[in-house]
């Protein structure tokens, strides 16, 4: 069992992300588990490195995943770790 690398804070999601997850039959919890252990999903190497630095520098964290239907979702944890939001990139 891999431990959380940072607190998620309050969990929120946009209507578009909730709809995409429901249509795909995917659980938000599965993506949140990946995010909190440092599986950043479909990010490039530069963004992965930035996240690794941000875990310890208390900066914002971003992960990107695809639902089982191929819709891209983002998960963003705020720098102060007060909240984590699941959203579609176009809702940013």
Per the DSSP assignment, residues forming a β-bridge with 83 are 10
Q: Give the strands of the sheet with 83-87, arranged side by side.
A: 10-13, 83-87, 72-77, 61-66
**How many residues does the structure list for the chain?**
92
- Span 6-28, average pLDDT: 98
Percent of the chain with pLDDT over 90: 97
- Find all residues with CB under 8 Å of 81, minimum gap 6, and list them: 6, 7, 8, 9, 58
Question: Which pLDDT belongs to residue 2?
Answer: 80
The yes-or-no verdict on residue 1 having pLDDT over 80 is no
Distance between CA 54 and CA 42 in Å, rounded?
17
pLDDT digits (tens, 9 = 90+) for 79-92: 999 999 999 999 99
């Amino acid at each position: 069992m891999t431990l959380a690398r940072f607190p998620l804070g309050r969990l929120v999601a946009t209507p578009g992300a909730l709809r995409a997850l429901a249509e795909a039959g995917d659980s938000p919890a599965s993506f949140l588990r990946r995010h909190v252990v440092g599986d950043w999903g479909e990010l490039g190497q530069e963004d992965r490195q930035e996240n690794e630095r941000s875990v310890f520098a208390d900066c914002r964290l971003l992960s990107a995943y695809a639902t089982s239907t191929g819709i891209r979702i983002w998960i963003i944890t705020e720098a102060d770790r007060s909240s984590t939001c699941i959203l579609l990139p176009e809702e940013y």
